[in-house]
Amino acid sequence: MDTPCHCARLRRATRRISAIYDEGFAPFGINVAQYSLLRSVRDKGEVSMTELGRMLELDRSTVGRNVRVLSKHGLVEMRRGKDDQREACIALTPQGTELLKTAAEAWRRSQKTIEDRLGKDRLEQLRDLLAAL
């Protein structure tokens, strides 16, 4: 069904793109949101839940849910903050670091799938349009 609602169209496109990545990450037991979270934690070294939410533009409860799943799978560990003992911080485990290395190829394949479907010119247009938002 076609709709004039910009939000609905963007959400539908986002679900389609997420499905491409999720399919690629399925063998690793994670989804694209969790992969993104793991990469952000890796890039920061150790990060508070609050800061991670800010970085990913997600509310703290969404971050918390994903962190609990990743923790249960042994990919991240929770620690107390160095400056504020009340603040929960997240760090990658060696298993999480290894998963990121092995899942990187799945991410590259997913990127290529999207690039191939859109083509170089439309991909550039998409980047420009999204940056304008």
pLDDT at 82: 65
Alpha-carbon gap, residue 23 to 104, rounded angstroms? 14
Q: What pairs with residue 47 in β-bridges?
A: 90
Query: Which pTM value belongs to this model?
Result: 0.87
Contact 53, 63 (CB under 8 A): yes
Q: For the chain, list the domains and their CATH numbers.
A: 30-104 (1.10.10.10)
Render pLDDT for 102-131 as a digit per residue (tens, 0 to 9).
999 999 999 999 999 999 999 999 999 989
Q: How do residues 45-99 score in pLDDT, each as one tens digit?
A: 899 988 999 999 999 889 999 999 999 999 999 887 666 666 789 999 999 999 9
What is the spatial distance between Cα 112 and Cα 15, in angstroms, rounded to a whole number? 17
Q: What is the pLDDT of residue 2?
A: 82
